């Protein structure tokens, strides 16, 4: 292949990767692979003296989406030239003092303040045109909405979501396939939300890394003093240290030593001259400013032997390849597994059992395969699903080939149902995560709900699995034993019958006197007559219990559990009424406790106000929230907790 053809090919591949990363917030190749291809293209351009139109070495970012208003930046936001060599940093510093700071991995945002108030927030976009996200920025966790400085202030910074917040948000998503891949993708989607309420719940934080303009302020020609001034105005400033060519190695080592425990995503460091005038005098290239330089971590790689490809099925039917290799030490921990993501990557690496491979941790955290030194390519693609034995097929989507199980009854596709079954409001089996369920399903331990109560039969195999040991296995089996004693509403909800949530399960159990036989043998008409159920849900419930597979699975399950008979003589004074709860509560520990209080007295709770709502409970009765407005439009009473408890005659009890 001639050099020009190779340059065209590299440009196309890198543009697609950039499009996926910047516009669609997804990754189709690792950072290591992108950097390798980018460096190859840059070297070819230097060698040939030719730069093709649209080359990623001259383009910055990608086009923004249409959903948010667009605005052109006053000055273009250029990328930074980068290196993985500390010697290059020493050369950059020369005889100047530089500031070394984290290169945070989030979404760059430009903030403008006028008269001491946040006036505008715009994303980086393609470097020239960004998206206006002012209202979303107002919900960031740490942005000052008012500052003491009254002149026009323009600053740049990174919007980020910490690893700890990222993990908490993902834990709340029951569906493993719907979870976010990394904090950067979550942050990008959160910052660019059309619904500010969603942004507010994501705990986005902003760290300033550059001051563009502050009319009338004197920083004595020092970037360090700019940072100190910004901190004095209430901004969180990216962590930074002074360095010279002589101290560079020590400063870089200090940052590198803390990256594994750093809670904010970072993919390297940034160097900027402290002398503002000196840096500005250097100007910029078409793509890079000359006053700053980026340092990306030199990935620690280890050679090892590929022993196996584990094919891991998921709820969507995708069967994902996972590389199992001889354990190696990387960045202070032992690793023996790495996701290969899809067939396209597997084929590109030409993987085969026994191959010598190089592995690394992307951003010093996520194990990846960097290179295959042997490239035997002797790996067969499974023709049958490892869980159900059904036929597989290769599917192409989003520029990638994937392996898919075609069996609609594959147990792996039922992972969402099993996840619901063990959830807190259902059978409440602590310690049985969705990831663990997927492993047990893949091993053939779980085919139906009752099998979860028989996991003790596989104890020895479970204790040898990665992520499980004697103690964790013991705790899980104890939790399973505890879950055998349950209630009928919990059991009914755990079955995953369409539209039978926690509230409907309780209503149905009360309506049929907590008699499961009576409930599961009811006609659609009898079910529809229950308050709040109706014909559609009633028919869905009847269909579920008439299905032979469901009936058999339920019979097996009933042999494993003990259903407590309720003894509840609480007067059903709220029967036939529907309540909506919003805002904070004072007399109850939380809103769920208030919901339970209502349901125990025969009432129902709903998430939104409608014509069927009997009452909206909100301690801020004068609020202008959407729910209050809707209630007023429909003439529905808005009661505080105190008013509500007085209404039901139980205020003294809660006091």
Would you list which residues are annotated within the binding site for Zn(2+)?
385, 388, 405, 410
Segments in 77-182 forming alpha helices (H): 86-93, 134-137, 163-171
3-state secondary structure of 488: helix
**How many residues are there in the chain?**
655
- CB atoms near residue 133 (< 10 Å): 26
What is d(CA 78, CA 510) in angstroms, rounded to the nearest whole number?
A: 65
What is d(CA 101, CA 241) in angstroms, rounded to the nearest whole number?
A: 6
Give Cα 233 to chain centroid, integer Å: 32
- Binding-site residues for NAD(+) sit at 79-80, 124, 158, 296
Question: In the block, which residue shows the tokens 């290196």?
Answer: 83
What is d(CA 383, CA 385) in angstroms, rounded to the nearest whole number?
A: 7
| Type and span of the H or E element at 654 | helix 651-654
Q: Output the CA–CA distances (angstroms, integers) from residue 525 to 505, 517, 539, 540, in the order listed.
A: 17, 16, 8, 11
Question: In the block, which residue shows the tokens 């008699």?
Answer: 515
- Binding-site residues sit at 79-80, 124, 158, 296, 385, 388, 405, 410
What is d(CA 239, CA 474) in angstroms, rounded to the nearest whole number?
A: 43
**Residues 6 or more apart in contact with residue 333 via CB below 8 angstroms:** none
DSSP 67-81: SS-EEE-SS------
Work out whether the CA dihedral 394, 397, 402, 406 comes out positive or negative.
Answer: negative
Buried b or exposed e, range 483-504, using 16+ CB within 10 angstroms = beebbbbbbbbbbbbeebebbb
- Find residue 114's DSSP bridge partners: 117
Say if residues 380 and 52 touch (Cβ distance below 8 Å). Answer: no
Say if residues 122 and 109 touch (Cβ distance below 8 Å). Answer: yes
**Residues 6 or more apart in contact with residue 168 via CB below 8 angstroms:** none
Closest CA to 229 of 220, 554, 570: 220
Question: In the block, which residue shows the tokens 């921990």?
Answer: 333
Question: What's the half-sphere exposure (Cβ side, CA atoms, 13 Å) at 250?
Answer: 7
CA-angle at 228, arms to 225 and 233, nearest 5°: 125
End-to-end Cα spacing for the chain: 82
What is d(CA 204, CA 201) in angstroms, rounded to the nearest whole number?
A: 8
Q: Which residues are catalytic?
A: 103
E strand segments, 274-317:
292-296, 302-313
């Amino acid at each position: 292949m001639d050099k020009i053809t190779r340059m065209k090919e590299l440009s196309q591949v890198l543009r697609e990767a950039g499009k996926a990363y910047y516009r669609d917030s997804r990754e189709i190749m690792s950072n290591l692979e992108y950097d390798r291809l980018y460096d190859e293209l840059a070297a070819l351009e230097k060698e040939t003296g030719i730069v093709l139109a649209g080359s990623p070495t001259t383009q910055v970012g990608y086009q923004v989406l249409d959903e948010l208003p667009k605005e052109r930046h006053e000055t273009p936001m250029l990328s930074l030239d980068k290196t993985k060599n500390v010697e290059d940093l020493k050369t950059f510093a020369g005889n100047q003092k530089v500031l070394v700071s984290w290169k945070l991995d989030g979404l760059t945002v430009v903030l403008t303040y006028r008269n001491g108030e946040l006036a505008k927030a715009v994303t980086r976009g393609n470097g020239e045109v960004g998206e206006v996200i002012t209202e979303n920025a107002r919900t960031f966790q740490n942005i000052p909405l008012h500052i003491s400085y009254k002149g026009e202030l323009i600053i740049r910074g990174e919007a980020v979501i910490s690893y700890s917040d990222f993990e908490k948000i993902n834990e709340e998503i029951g569906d493993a396939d719907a979870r976010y891949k990394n904090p950067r993708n979550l942050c990008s989607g959160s910052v660019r939300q059309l619904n500010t309420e969603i942004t507010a719940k994501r705990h986005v934080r902003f760290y300033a890394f550059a001051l563009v303009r502050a009319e009338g302020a004197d920083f004595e020609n020092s970037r360090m003093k700019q940072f100190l001034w910004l901190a004095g105005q209430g901004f969180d400033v990216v962590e930074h240290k002074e360095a010279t060519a002589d101290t560079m190695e020590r400063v870089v080592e200090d940052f590198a030593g803390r990256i594994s425990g750093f809670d904010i995503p970072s993919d390297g460091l940034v160097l900027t001259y402290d002398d503002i005038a000196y840096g500005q005098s250097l100007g910029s290239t078409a793509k890079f400013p000359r006053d700053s330089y980026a340092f990306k971590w030199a990935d620690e790689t280890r050679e090892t032997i590929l022993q196996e490809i584990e094919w891991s099925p998921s709820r969507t039917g995708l069967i994902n390849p996972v590389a199992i290799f001889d354990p190696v030490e990387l960045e202070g921990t032992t690793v023996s597994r790495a996701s290969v993501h899809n067939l396209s990557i597997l084929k590109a690496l030409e993987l085969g059992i026994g191959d010598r491979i190089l592995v690394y941790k992307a951003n010093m955290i996520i194990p990846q395969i960097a290179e295959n030194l042997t490239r035997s390519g002797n790996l067969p693609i499974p023709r049958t699903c490892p869980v159900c034995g059904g036929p597989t097929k290769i599917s192409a989507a989003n520029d990638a080939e994937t392996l898919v199980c075609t069996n609609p009854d594959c147990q792996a596709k039922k992972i969402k149902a099993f996840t619901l079954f063990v959830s807190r409001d259902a059978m409440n089996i602590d310690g049985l995560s969705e990831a663990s369920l997927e492993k047990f399903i893949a091993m053939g331990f779980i085919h139906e709900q009752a099998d979860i109560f028989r996991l003790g039969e596989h104890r020895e195999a479970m204790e040898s699995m990665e992520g499980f040991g004697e103690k964790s296995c013991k705790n899980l089996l104890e939790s399973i034993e505890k879950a055998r004693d349950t209630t009928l509403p919990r059991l009914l909800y755990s079955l995953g019958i369409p539209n039978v949530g926690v509230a409907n399960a309780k209503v149905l159990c009360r309506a049929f006197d907590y008699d499961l036989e009576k409930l599961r043998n009811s006609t659609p008409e009898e079910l529809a007559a229950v308050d709040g159920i109706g014909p559609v849900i009633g028919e869905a419930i009847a269909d579920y219990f008439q299905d032979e597979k469901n009936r058999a699975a339920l019979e097996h399950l009933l042999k494993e559990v003990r259903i407590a008979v309720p003894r509840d003589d609480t007067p059903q004074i709220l029967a036939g009424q529907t309540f909506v709860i919003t805002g904070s509560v004072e007399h109850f520990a939380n809103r769920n406790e208030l919901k339970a209080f209502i349901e125990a007295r025969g009432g129902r709770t709903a998430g939104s106000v409608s014509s069927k709502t009997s009452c909206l409970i909100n301690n801020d009765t004068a609020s202008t929230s959407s729910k209050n407005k809707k209630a007023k439009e429909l003439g529905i009473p808005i009661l505080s907790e105190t008013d509500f408890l007085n209404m039901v005659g139980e205020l003294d009890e809660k006091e």
